[in-house]
A and B are shown apart, each in its own frame.
Chain A
């Protein structure tokens, strides 16, 4: 979040469970983070499960990245 404050586009990958916490932190730091939300958990997943998380999040990330680049 400090990176966004400094003008860097910094998408943050966060799991559903931790979304409320990250949002609270963002409010406290007065930043609007770009969040890529994935199902919880991430730790402990095997390779195939992890590939599924990557697959699920990639489209949203690419959209966000294109939008940031386009809007710059």
Chain B
């Protein structure tokens, strides 16, 4: 059976990168797709708890280097549908590919309350990343919704910035006694069990939430809301594969699922890494089974793939007076860029600067924007990677 790849890994978080590395170390031809950037949830974690990996970005760097060192190809595309079989067929935003085995490691979607107006308030008060957005709420009140260990850690991190942190727990907390003690000792943190958020308040930006408890409903004025509930798995991504109540996939029929995306997963870095390792090994077994006992492995594994192509000019006629700023709209990114842009403008005597913005830091830049910038400008100052 001839396929584009021996193994396709869908999602390059800790589970996917580990699975890909392990499979490649066995000499398999492996590609790992990510629709955003390698690292997944890790990218948002400044401090890692119960894992010795340093900061999130440091661990991503180490995992990516190890995978690439083993010969894994990292590709930037969204996998939109997986058709199991022999070969496995995958539809991606960059076209269709075939493989001998597939590992689904897409993690979970962001936290959601499922309330009217929630989407419109995303990044206008509603956030799922304390490390990224916590500083925005310096001296203001915020609420956190969730019941697990990471909710507790996010609440404690937010208490470093916010004036008050109310932790709204849908039922009873599931966090450890140690975290309960740390929350109780934190002056600005209040934990409210059996609490349901029933509505969001705010025109354009969040101003508060309505909370129902056994004592009835009350309004809570908050500038920030961090939901860590309602995260869903990749239900429907793989043809014919069953999912649990949270949309997490139940592996079967030769489809391997690793990390948070797997039904029953523990949702921790250590567990996702172990899962990835097991899936990488299992991929080898699945390929051996489908191709009989003899397997010819790629003797060049561990060798970095050739550079794709030399940098391509876009046929642009831009000159050194054509300079633009491109912000990812993270807090203060635009202000920082404008400040630096002014310096450059003065230094080079530029009449004006172009400007483009990505609406949301956590989505890839639109192709149209990149096309426009690369055709119209000679230099584009980009911010901010933080």
Interface residues of B in 372-386 (CB under 8 A from A): 373-374, 377-386
Contacts A9-B379, A13-B385 given; does A69 touch B314 at CB 8 Å: no
> Which residues on the A side are within 8 Å of B337 (C-beta)?
13
> Which residues on the A side are within 8 Å of B308 (C-beta)?
30
Rounded to whole angstroms, the CA-CA distance of A12 and B337 in the bound complex is 10
Rounded to whole angstroms, the CA-CA distance of A50 and B342 in the bound complex is 14
Contacts A3-B370, A8-B377, A42-B386 given; does A28 touch B344 at CB 8 Å: no
Check A10 against B384 for contact (C-beta < 8 Å).
no
Q: Does B353 contact A (CB under 8 A)?
A: no
Rounded to whole angstroms, the CA-CA distance of A54 and B338 in the bound complex is 9
Interface residues of B in 303-342 (CB under 8 A from A): 307-308, 311-314, 316, 318, 320, 326, 330-333, 335-337, 339-340
Check A3 against B332 for contact (C-beta < 8 Å).
no
Interface residues of A in 1-35 (CB under 8 A from B): 2-15, 17-25, 27-31
Rounded to whole angstroms, the CA-CA distance of A67 and B54 in the bound complex is 35
Main secondary structure of the interface of A (DSSP, over half): helix
> Which residues on the B side are within 8 Å of A42 (C-beta)?
330-333, 336, 383-384, 386
B138 to chain A, nearest CB (A): 6
Check B65 against A7 for contact (C-beta < 8 Å).
no
Interface string of B211-240 (1 = CB under 8 A from A): 000000000000000000000000000000
Spell out B's residues near A (CB within 8 Å). 37-39, 43, 46, 55-58, 60-61, 64-65, 68, 74, 76, 132-136, 138, 161, 307-308, 311-314, 316, 318, 320, 326, 330-333, 335-337, 339-340, 343-344, 347-348, 365, 370, 373-374, 377-386
Spell out A's residues near B (CB within 8 Å). 2-15, 17-25, 27-31, 36, 38, 40-45, 50-51, 53-54, 57-58, 61-62, 65, 68-69, 72
- Given A18-B57, A61-B381, 13 additional A-B pairs, CB 8 A: A6-B312, A7-B313, A13-B333, A13-B340, A19-B57, A21-B56, A21-B57, A29-B76, A44-B134, A44-B136, A50-B336, A61-B343, A62-B344
6 residue pairs, one from A and one from B, having the closest CB atoms: A44-B135, A43-B331, A14-B385, A54-B339, A21-B57, A20-B61
Instruction: Name 14 interchain pairs, CB-CB below 8 A, sorted by A.
Output: A6-B312, A8-B314, A10-B379, A12-B383, A15-B384, A20-B60, A21-B37, A40-B386, A43-B132, A43-B133, A45-B135, A50-B335, A50-B336, A62-B343
